[in-house]
Structure 1
Amino acid sequence: MRGGTVAVVGGSIAGCAFASAAARAGADEVVVIERTGGRLADRGVGLCIHNDRAAELSAVGTLPPGIAAHRLTRRRWVVRDGGDPAGRLFWEQPFPFHSYHWGLLWQGLREATPASVVYRQGTAVTGVSWQVPDPAAAPAAGPDGQVAVTLADESVERHDLVVGADGYRSVVREALSPGSRPHYAGYVCWRGNFDARRLDGVGEDPWPSDAGMTVCWPGGSCVIYRIPGPEGTRVNWVLYAVPPQDGSLRFDDPTSFPPGALTAELADHLAGLLAREFPPYWAAVLALTAPEDTFVQPIYDLEVTRSGVGRLLLAGDAATVVRPHNTSGAAKAMQDATAFEAAWRDAASWEHLTDAYQAARGPVGRDLVALARRLGRAQVEQTPDWTAMDRHAAEAWWRGQLDGAPGIGGQAMTARP
């Protein structure tokens, strides 16, 4: 199938990957509609991609070459111990990942987007209209079944296919699966990052550069690792715990507290956790983060019945919101784009395309959500007695979380015949 117009709502990692895939597959016109007007490259959070997923994505051209990455090979698990400022190491597991700076990864994907793609920033989509057709009737969405996209200025555009790459508060998802909303998991993550050169002021560094660290305590855990940055290596951390329960904060509606918007309650709660639960060295490391570089992200789950119907398709977090414990978000978004391009090349119609995409990515999304829920229960909601852990106990505990899954970081793409 060739030709047609495609609108990609959302211009971040998933949006850029899908725009490139549509252009390569043969769309006549591809437009990306991104509501943010500022520099997306300034988003400094870290993420990791499994080495095998990166190799697969590079081989098909979805992950462009030359994007800065930091090599990780192992993950160390520690618990507070009064005898060692850095805590007691109870397990070291293989961790074949590379870490990335979100902004640098996005910039690489954006630069690799074909010049034919129109990338519009500062334009918000407020509604998408497409009626799932009755087999006995003609589609009622517009000429030839096109999708109507309404913008903030009330103008309307029509496209042959609309891809929702607009995140966990997706407008496109509301059109495809009305009422599907992320469900709050009952806990949040505090996130932050800072220039790794600041570590020199903490004391002797017990932290190999190829290691990610996990600090554990009753009711929570914190992952700490290095990432590349625009001006050198940075330290990135993600701390999972239940937020203050005084009723002053509500997370039933999808929300977040971006850098610069951290409330006093959340800041004080974080400071208390560091003082009570962390080994002194790691508490001092996290305390190096400036308040303006600290934010809170409530943890949500979401899976939809279908991620592709007729002329609508969902990508990345718009289709499934997977708790970050699984370390699969960026890889999953780019795999979605890879599957989309493969489905396009074999499709005879738009409906065949979205059906094939759903068949390829729907089960994967459900599996990832289920695994991340198990990881969240084990590492936050129902934590073990970390102080009693040794290597053998930790390995058995980890196998229980996986429950037959090969590991974290996402699934391998199914080989095509």
Structure 2
Amino acid sequence: MRGGTVAVVGGSIAGCALATAAARAGAGDVVVLERTRGRLADRGVGLCINDERAGELGASGALPGGIAAHRLERRRWVVRDPAQAGGRVIWEQPFPFHSYHWGLLWRGLREAVPDRVVYRQGETVTGVTRAGDGVGAAGAEVRLAGGGAESYDLVVGADGYRSVVREAVCPESRPHYAGYVCWRGNFDAARLAEIGGAADSAPDAVTTVCFPGGTCVIYRIPGPDGPRVNWVLYAPPPRDGQLRFDDPTSFPPGALTPGLAGQLDALLDREFPPYWGRALALTDPADTFVQPIYDLETARTTAGRLLLVGDAASVVRPHNTSGAAKALQDATAVAGIWRRCDSFEELLRAYQDARGAAGRELVALARRLGSAQVERTPAWAAMHPHDMHTWWQGQLGGAPGIGGQAMTPPRTS
């Protein structure tokens, strides 16, 4: 299929990937509408992409080469032990991933967007109207905060968990609170020298600190000014009522209150091996934040001339380490179908067939992971490698692993 006008609502990872995919596949005019006026590269911290998924996405062109990444090979699960400052290792498993800095990954994807794509920042989309609701027989319309409206042949929602496009596709879908929170932070890896680096002598390893009612995942990422240590800590919600749980609201970096910071310090002191407690304490308050964990699944990813990708289509708890890969896979699917189909209707049907179930499967897996690693943690100190392996396989529930699954070739009629 050649030609047609496409509006991509949202210009972060999913939006850049989708705009590039559509333009390269043959779309006529592609416009990205991004509400943020500043540098998106300043948002986010670390993420990982499975090596097999990265290979597939690199071959498809969805993941450009040359983006800084840090190689990870294994994951160590540790518990607090009075005899070992870095904790006692209860299990080690392969972890074939590369880690990324969100900003550097976004920058690479943004630079790969073809010049003919119009990338408009400071454009807030307040609503979307699909065909049959006053737009005519085909196409869709986006309404802008400034009061204007624009019509396109296809509107793609790449606008994350608060997606206004999803409101038009699946208005019944709402975020589901998981019952726990995620503390996040990152710091300059060179600062580990301040506390001694014996416990962190393996930069290719992910360390998961295990404690009653939670886990904390710690790993290296590349940074704009050198390697950094990224950490993600899952735990019961703070008890002082400062966080709201009616929607996925967070205390962003730099906005952590003294009360919340004190609760984090107490958790590290009480539950963590001393080395890792001191390591996380190296994080500057400006680089620390906390957010409730939510997920969301949709019954469909298309409606009329509307299509959802990335977190707009499904919000998966971070345990599965699949968010970026899934967004790039969605864009890859659109490009592959576009080249084979003859109409937008065929494109939308084939995309729903190819990607409709993918998000729901990832949500289900991440819920099992969250249940086992936060909500119903085992007696960690009593676990042995065989016990851990059996426990892990139970979480997977037949899935080959975390990080997302290989794509199946899309079908077109």
Normalised to the residue count of structure 2, the TM-score between the two structures is 0.97
Kindly provide the CA deviation profile for residues 334-378 of structure 1, in whole angstroms up to 9, marking residues without a partner as x: 000001111212222212211111111111111100000000000
- Letter of the aligned partner of 1:275 in structure 2? D
Q: 2:316 aligns with which of 318, 322, 325?
A: 322
SS of the residue corresponding to residue 206 of structure 1 reads helix
Residue 71 of structure 2 corresponds to which residue in structure 1? 71
Structure 1 gaps of 5+ residues are 132-138
| Structure-1 separation of matches of 2:351 and 2:100 | 27
Asked if the contact 1:141/1:148 (under 8 Å) is kept, the reply is no
Q: Kindly provide the amino acid, as one letter, of the partner of residue 339 in structure 2.
A: R
Structure 2 residues not aligned, in runs of 5+ = none
Listed as ranges, the matches of 1:16-415 within 5 Å are 16-131=16-131, 139-207=132-200, 208-415=202-409
1:303 counterpart SS class:
coil
Secondary structure of the 1:320 match is coil
Deviation of 1:179 (Å): 3.3
* One-letter amino acid matched to 1:79: V
Q: Is the 1:44–1:193 Cα contact (8 Å) retained in structure 2? A: no
The residue identity in structure 1 corresponding to 2:195 is V
Asked if 1 retains the 8 angstrom alpha-carbon contact of 2:248 and 2:291, the reply is: no
Q: Is the 8 A contact 1:34 1:122 kept in 2?
A: yes
CA distance in 2, matches of 1:243, 1:142: 45
Q: How much does 1:249 deviate?
A: 2.6
Over the matched positions of the two proteins, sequence identity in percent amounts to: 71
Alignment RMSD (CA, Å): 1.2
For the 8 Å contact 1:256–1:298, the answer to whether it is kept is yes
Contact 1:16 1:113 in 2 (8 A): yes
Secondary structure of 1:271 counterpart: helix
Letter in 1 for 2:99: S
Distance in structure 2 (CA, Å) of the matches to 1:246 and 1:82: 30
8 Å contact kept, 1:310–1:350: no
Conserved 8 A contact 2:243-2:250: no
Distance 1:415 1:352, change over 3 A: closer
Give distance in 1, aligned partners of 2:244 and 2:252.
Answer: 15
Q: Which residue of 2 aligns with 1:134?
A: none
Paired residues of 1:141 and 1:147 also in contact (CA < 8 A): no
- Equivalent pairs counted in the alignment come to 410
TM-score normalised to the size of structure 1?
A: 0.96
Separation in 1 of the partners of 2:271 and 2:232? Answer: 15
1:103-128 deviation digits (Å, cap 9, x = unpaired): 00000000000001000111111011
Using the TM superposition, give the Cα deviation of residue 267 of structure 1 relative to its aligned residue in structure 2, in angstroms: 1.4
C-alpha distance in 1 between matches for 2:333 and 2:270: 46
Tell me how far apart the structure 2 counterparts of residues 298 and 41 of structure 1 sit (CA, whole Å). Answer: 23
Tell me, in whole angstroms, the C-alpha distance in 2 between the residues paired with 1:245 and 1:271: 14
What's the CA shift for 1:416?
5.8
- Verify the 8 A CA contact 2:23 2:114 in the aligned structure 1: yes
The whole-number CA distance in structure 1 between the counterparts of 2:279 and 2:209 is: 12
Displacement after TM superposition at 1:246 (Å): 4.0
Shift of 1:192: 0.4
C-alpha distance in 2 between matches for 1:141 and 1:260: 44
